[in-house]
Amino acid sequence: MNLISARGVGKDVMSGGQPLTILADVDLDVAAGESVAIVGASGSGKTTLLSLLAGLDLPSRGEIRLDGHDLSGLDEDARAELRAGRVGFVFQSFQLLSGFTALENVMLPAELAGYKDAPARAQAALERVGLGARLSHYPHQLSGGEQQRVAIARAFCAEPTVLFADEPTGNLDAATGARIIDLLFEMNAARGTTLVLVTHDAALASRCRRVLRLREGRIVHG
């Protein structure tokens, strides 16, 4: 069964008073447990597609279904509710809340999903990514790699069915990036999470079961 499906999806924005098409006629299906890499040059529409699939934005045309729900039929609040507990994110710039400790950052999605055992889950997740000793550290006290590991722990804490990752190694050196990718795939495999990731990195893309290539807003290979 498809966890994510997109039919005829297009996205236009206004730029300098002119409509600009960022995505056009995107059709795609992602099965539960599958891992898909979206690759393409800068400006090809990768991140836009990711944000549409995650329900962060609505398409100008077409239909997107996430876990059986038509996203266009949901308002922003309902889409947030749909994400809570079902969707995890890993961002290029980590996106940790600077005033929250590692533990507090990680437990946030579980709290939002209403899990009573959020602190225990968060602690377990941090231990799994090897940061069991840094629970009460703030983001600025952690290295880039450690911050991204916190972000991965956060992504898995609420045991989502799908994980969206946007250039997860983009801000890291090669060695750290490689360790982060190993961790990401390892946890993904252990939980059978569906993974959709956007990357420039061919090595990273090749570890996914399927690679979709975008060019000027259209899927050219997938």
Partner 1 sequence: MASAMLFAVRRLRRGWRSGELFILVLALAVAVAASAAVNLFTERVRSALDAQTGEALGGDVLYSARRPLPPSLSPSAQALGLRTTELVHFTSVVFHGDASQLASIKAVGAGYPLRGALRVSSEPFGPARAAAGVPARGEAWVDARLWQALRLFPGAMLKVGALELRVSAVIQAEPDRGNGFADLAPRLMMNGADVADSQLLGPGSRAQYSLLVAGDAPAVQAVLAQPVPDGVRRQTPREARPEIRNALSRAGQFLDIAIVAATLLAAAAVALSARQYGEKLRDEIALLKCLGARQGFLVRALLLQLVLLGAAAALAGAAVGYLAQAALARVLADLMQLELPPPPLKPLLAAAALGGLMLLGFAAPPMLDARRTLPLRVFQRDLAASPLSRSVWIAAFAAAAALLWLASADTRLVLIVLAGIGLSAVALALLAWLLVLALQPLRRRVGISWRFGLGNVARRRAASVAQVTALGLALLALLLVSVVREDLLRSWQRKLPADTPNQFLINIQTDQVQPLRAFFQQRGYPALELWPMARGRLVELNGTPVTADSFPDPETQRWINRDFNLSWSTTLNPDNRITQGQWWGEAGRGQPWLSADEYAIERLHLKLGDTLTLDFAGERVTLTVHNFRTVEWDSFRPNFFLLAPPGVVPETVPTQWLTSFYLPPGDRALLRELIDAFPNVTVLDIEAMMNQVRGIIDRIVTAVEFIFLFTLAAGVTVLLAAIEGTRAERIRETALLRTLGARAGLIARGLLAEYAVLGALAGFIAAIASQTVAWVLAAQVFGIAYGPRPHLWALGTLGGAVLVALLGGLSLRRVLHTPPRRVLQQI
Q: Which residues bind partner 1 (CB under 8 A)?
A: 47, 50-51, 54, 56-57, 76-77, 80-87, 89, 91, 95, 97-100, 104, 108-109, 111-113, 118, 140, 144, 154, 166
In terms of Cα–Cα distance, which of 37, 48, 38, 35 is closest to 9? 48
CA angle, corner 96, sides to 168 and 175, nearest 5? 35
Beta carbon nearer to partner 1, 129 or 207: 129
User: What phi and psi, each to the nearest 5 degrees, are found at residue 63?
Assistant: -130, 135
Question: Minimum distance between the CB of residue 106 and partner 1, rounded to whole angstroms?
Answer: 11
Non-local (6+) Cβ contacts of 101 within 8 A are: 135, 136, 137, 138
Question: Minimum distance between the CB of residue 99 and partner 1, rounded to whole angstroms?
Answer: 2
Question: Minimum distance between the CB of residue 31 and partner 1, rounded to whole angstroms?
Answer: 23
Beta carbon nearer to partner 1, 89 or 134: 89
Rg of the chain in Å (alpha carbons):
17
Beta carbon nearer to partner 1, 111 or 216: 111
Question: Minimum distance between the CB of residue 49 and partner 1, rounded to whole angstroms?
Answer: 11
Beta pairing class for 87-90 and 162-166: parallel
